[in-house]
Amino acid sequence: MVTIDNISEGRGAETADSSARQDNAASCSNSHPLEITTEDPVDGSTDMSLADGAQSSGNGPNLAGLTNHVVNTLREWYVLASDSIADILEGRLIQQPSKDVWLLGRHYEATKFEQNDASQGWMDKYPPGFVEDFSRLIWCTYRSHYPPIAPSAFTTDAGWGCMLRAGQTLLAQALQLHHFGRNWGFSWESSRDEDKRRSRQYVGIVKQFFDDYSGTSIFSIHRMSSIGKKFEGKDIGQWFGPHGTASIIRKLAQEAKHELNVYTTTDGVVYLADICADEFQPTLILVTSMLGIDRVNPVYYPFIQASLTLPQSAGIAGGKPSSALYFAGFQGDELFYLDPHYTRQAVIHRNDDAYTAADLATYSCSTPRRIPLGRLDPCMVFGYYCDTLASLIDLRSRIDLLADDGMKTLLTFDNGHSPDTAAVRVETDVGTSIQPDGPSKSVAAISTDAQTHDDAMSLELLPQSDSDSSGIAVSEGSGCSVEHRSEGSEIILEEGNASEEEWVTDM
């Protein structure tokens, strides 16, 4: 029996009069979440009375920042009140037994709990370390007072940019996984070389989402809106859906020749020949899905949860009707989310990159919010980050195991090219090519190649189906080629290739 434990280690347009949304002072801690040590505390200038974007001056906070703060506080009260009413109507006020917590593939057992600050309420208890881990997620929200998005006069995306922001948040976690792995904490003020390096990398990630046209702002709201107008036919100021957002991210990554390859699918099929036609590049797979009509069909609840337990998970960009959200984990039948519907002033671009924890404090939140699966909108984008071919094969194997156990999954894998590129033959060093062979289960044999770099692996994908047993042999750095095999269906990682993800199972 495959369980969650052994698998891991909206749609809807917002109305034009949607109010700007932002969390209040109680929603975010005064210290930056990445400050994981007690030494060298952040300077006291991180007063959260200015966290909404108000800049200190001789005359006090500026009017725009103060306005944002007031609106955001009202928004926070509204969210708390509406959630409480919904909980009462659904009978959720009765405290439920403590349950394990999952956050982007990381498991927190329910054996010990900690009470977070009083702003969360008496019911919100989480395992130690979870809130700190949650606060390290990069949070992209509405921004205001940035340069106009040409050719429009928009200087804020409040009311229409929530799905783009949810997409940015998903991509930001993938970039953190790419640069840091799953252990992405560091101390801003530490003098250690490793912390200094990580702080520079963190700044480099966040800068890609700054709100302007600078060369480093690859995925800014400006560029996303412009690409959406060009390829999706959406005027600037119109709401974007999950499919459009995924397509925009892929196009921007391609145009920038980004270090992260972005692969998108709308039918749930991942075509491996399209991903590994050349040398394998770390890849973010975005799967756009429609899981029901007005609400998510309950048959998909287990997969939504299981997806967030996978080590490759970068989260889900989805939401509730008329409001986009980013989902990163779950407890019981409730998902943890980051809400982009809060407006902050745009961060001022600095040429010297001398940003501090206080400067980037509005890109994080230490108050987890939850939403029941039954309230979700059915349109969403699932994100999976694979840094190596081994990780991609592992993802395929885990998804196949879920399907074998009878779970309704959204994802299948095909060894060939997508229909759009089926006519293109991918030539390899030995002159062979990959041919589509239909969806199939996968098994993998991984062995070390003594002639290559220590980190390189030679992988053989040995799919098994009712019709044939042909497969793809994949070797990092040398593209993909075809081998025909008829061997057993066992996943084996040989000793010497051991990693945290090593596992052996009989299919």
Q: How far is CA 189 from CA 41, 235, 358, 376, 505, in A?
A: 7, 43, 12, 40, 45
Of 32, 222, 341, 417, the active-site residue reads 341
**Residues β-bridged to residue 103:** 106, 329
| Candidate list 157, 211, 274, 339, residue with the active-site label | 339
The catalytic position among 28, 140, 162, 379 is 162
Decide if 387 is catalytic.
no
Q: What angle do CA 476, 482, 486 make, to 5 degrees?
A: 115
Distance (Å) of CA 399 to CA 133, 198, 411: 25, 32, 7
Residue holding tokens 């700190």? 132
d(CA 140, CA 220): 10
The tokens for 213 are 């046209």
- Residue 77: phi, psi to the nearest 5? -60, -40
Question: What would the 3-class secondary structure string for 360-422 be?
Answer: CHHHCCCCCEEEEHHHCCCEEEEEEEECCHHHHHHHHHHHHHHHHCCCCCCCEEECCCCHHHC
Could you give the CA distance from residue 439 to residue 424 in angstroms, rounded to a whole number?
Answer: 19
Report yes or no: 137 and 175 within 8 Å, Cβ to Cβ. Answer: no
Supply 252's token pair: 């921007």
**Residue 455: which residues within 8 A CB-CB, separation 6 or more?**
none
Structure tokens belonging to residue 218: 């690859």
Produce one character per residue of 255-294: b if its CB has 16 or more CB atoms within 10 Å, e if not. Answer: eeebebbbbbbeeeebbbbbbbbeebebbbbbbbbbbbee
Determine phi and psi for 257, rounding to 5 degrees: 50, 50
C-alpha dihedral sign at 428, 430, 436, 437: negative
Strand partners, 345: 144
3-state class percentages of the chain: helix first, strand second, coil last, to nearest 5: 30, 20, 50
Peptide bond between residue 41 and the one before it cis (omega within 30 degrees of 0) = no
Please list the residues that pair with 370 across neighbouring strands: 336
Phi then psi for 44, rounded to 5 degrees?
A: -65, -5
Known active-site residue 341: yes
> Could you tell me which of 319, 306, 301 has the C-alpha nearest to residue 373?
301
DSSP letter, residue 41: P
User: What CA–CA distance (Å, rounded) separates 381 from 402?
Assistant: 19
At which residue do the structure tokens 């793809």 appear?
A: 472
Which active-site residues does the annotation give?
A: 162, 339, 341
